[in-house]
Amino acid sequence: MDRERELFHQARKSESPPLLLILDRRDDPVTPLLCQWTYQAMVHELFGITNNRVAMASVPGVKSRDLQEIVLAVHQDEFFATNWHTNFGDLCMRVKELVDGYQAKHKSHENIQTIADMQRFVEHYPEYRRMAGNVSKHVTVVSEISRIIEEESLMEVSAVEQQLACAENHSDAVKKVFEVLMHPRVTLDHKVRVVALFALHYESQGRIDLESMIDRLKLLGVDPPRLRVINDLLEYAGASKRGADLFSSKNIFVSFTKTFHRELLGASNIYTEHKPLLDNILEQISKNRLKETLYPYLDSHSRDRPQDVIIFFVGGTTFEEALCVDQFNKNNPNMRVVLGGTTIHNCKSFLGALKSGLGVFDVPH
């Protein structure tokens, strides 16, 4: 970085040297396993984003060739640039506002109240697609997301995932997991990831319960390769492999404090209560308190708080962590954080990499 100092031309001579922090995905295996509720992250989770492109050809109801593959890029799409980190509830309202604006302009009197109404409106007015193809694209995506949420009961699944990630209540967690396993609309893939989250959180005290959950998955028809991924996950990122105390279970006071604040203040959104480990790391960096025992330096370093920070995840990063960095940069205008990784995971790619034993995970710890 010293040799390429000119790349950081914004830095003044009085500023501290930039910090490159290399993180291991295994230290936070929870974040890639969770349902997402912001626009960009949801699209990647449900459809996959590759080079800003999303394949929609297999989506029911997509008839237009223009919508069989769509582009979601902040530099080309004003609506996406404004709403890529917007939660799904607000996103639906903003898409409706666009449709309402078109109706008002063209004196249409159709009653539009739901996402399904918006989808029908776009289909019945071809000129709307021609004049506002970009909005038509987002109506199609949001409509399909809404359909999947309903058909696969993702809100119920997500509430349990968030409890497994954020709360400390073993007996209640067992009850909630089995409720998911018995739910007729929840897919097998979602059931496997919920059990995987339980295995991570209650690794030391829930072995008997985990065996019962795996037996239930077998009865439901989950094939052996998908079942093995749960043990693969523990071997890759179990408690003994992680550097950080992900669930704060080793510190009773910290666990009690987090639970107290959750119950006293309430979560602003029970579906987005979880914060990636990266959130805590960035807070430590901003206070110049990053623990060298957990994140040792390669050589001598400045003791000043860095103003330019590059975070790189070996094993892949996520869009939830990208959102975390975006919020941090907005709240800390005197610092600049850039996020990178060997890939951008959704749950499918993360568990798929574990199942296939990709060498990207073979990182000394």
Under a CB-based contact definition with an 8 Å cutoff, are residues 307 and 334 in contact?
Answer: yes
- Is the pLDDT reported for residue 70 higher than 60? yes
- Give percent of the chain above pLDDT 70: 78
The pLDDT score that the predictor gives to residue 355 is: 81
What pLDDT digit, counting tens, does each position of 175-225 carry? 999 999 999 999 999 999 999 999 999 998 879 999 999 999 999 999 999
* Across 125-140, average pLDDT: 67
Q: Three-class SS of residue 87?
A: strand
pLDDT in tens, 18-42: 999 999 999 999 999 999 999 999 9
| Residue 297: pLDDT band with limits 50, 70, 90 | confident
pLDDT at residue 254, as a whole number: 41
Alpha helices, DSSP H only, in the chain? 39-46, 78-83, 88-105, 115-124, 126-131, 133-151, 154-166, 170-182, 188-201, 207-220, 224-237, 252-265, 277-286, 319-331, 347-356
Q: Could you report the per-residue pLDDT of 77-93, keeping only the tens digit for each? A: 888 999 999 999 999 99
130-134, 152-156, 184-188: least confidently modelled range: 130-134
Residue 9 is predicted with a pLDDT of 55
Contact 229, 356 (CB under 8 A): no
pTM: 0.83
Report the DSSP beta bridge partners of residue 17: none
Alpha-carbon Rg of the chain, whole angstroms? 22
Query: For position 287, what pLDDT does the model report?
Result: 93
To 5 degrees, how large is the angle CA 318–CA 321–CA 322? 90
> What is the DSSP pairing of strand 53-55 with strand 69-71?
antiparallel
What is the model's pLDDT at position 245? Answer: 76
Confidence band, pLDDT 50/70/90 cuts, at residue 99: confident
Compute the distance between CA of residue 59 and CA of residue 55 in angstroms, rounded to an integer.
9
DSSP code for 342: S
Dihedral of the alpha carbons of 164, 214, 149, 259, in degrees to the nearest 10: -10
Task: Determine the pLDDT at residue 173.
Answer: 96
Least trusted range by pLDDT, from 45-49, 176-180, 343-347, 359-363: 359-363
